[in-house]
């Protein structure tokens, strides 16, 4: 995608106010995380983490890419551990969710969670003033 396309698409998508992920949605879609204790405090921590991601089951994207609209997203690994990128447009996806990523103070669960989630459009900004 060209720079102008990305800028326009991001504005369009942000205006739609797409739903964010939450722990409750995660649990509904993927089941419980083994060894996770569902206390009010722990769920709040998980919600703060998951709200960085797009709810993958919303009417708009239907398991596709919110940036380029592809319904058949192929991911390739990048340099950052646990982060993959769409081959069609380069949008980053978080594939591995480690306990330390979610809470630095204590371990909320034992093993990584292996689910590809798209970062929510609200987490992206483009400086339109930058040169080509």
Residue ranges making up the domain that contains 59: 3-123
Task: Look at the chain and count its residues.
Answer: 132
- Decide if 131 is inside a domain: no
> Strands, E, within the chain: which ranges?
75-77, 83-86, 92-97, 113-118
- Decide if 132 is inside a domain: no
pLDDT category, 15, cuts 50, 70, 90?
Answer: very high
- Decide if 98 is inside a domain: yes
CB 101 within 8 A of CB 24: no
- Decide if 130 is inside a domain: no
- Convert the pLDDT of each residue in 108-129 to its tens digit: 887 778 888 899 999 988 776 7
Q: Which residue has the higher pLDDT, 71 or 84?
A: 84
Per-residue confidence (pLDDT) for residue 122, from 0 to 100: 93
Model pTM score: 0.82
- Decide if 129 is inside a domain: no
- Convert the pLDDT of each residue in 35-79 to its tens digit: 888 899 989 999 999 999 998 876 565 567 888 888 888 889 988
Which DSSP letter does residue 123 get? G
CB 112 within 8 A of CB 95: no
CB 115 within 8 A of CB 30: yes
Q: State the total domains in the chain.
A: 1
């Amino acid at each position: 995608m060209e720079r102008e396309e990305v800028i326009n698409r991001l504005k369009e998508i942000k205006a739609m106010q797409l739903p964010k992920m939450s722990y409750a949605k995660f649990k509904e879609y993927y089941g419980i995380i083994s060894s996770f204790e569902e206390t009010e405090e722990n769920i709040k921590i998980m919600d703060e983490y998951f709200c960085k991601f797009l709810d993958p089951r919303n009417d708009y994207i239907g398991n596709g890419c919110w940036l380029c609209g592809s319904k058949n997203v192929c991911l390739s690994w990048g340099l950052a551990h646990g982060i993959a990128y769409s081959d069609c447009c380069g949008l980053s996806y978080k594939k591995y969710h480690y306990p330390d990523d979610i809470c630095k103070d204590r371990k909320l669960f034992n093993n990584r969670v292996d689910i590809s989630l798209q970062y929510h459009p609200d987490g992206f900004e483009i400086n339109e003033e930058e040169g080509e």
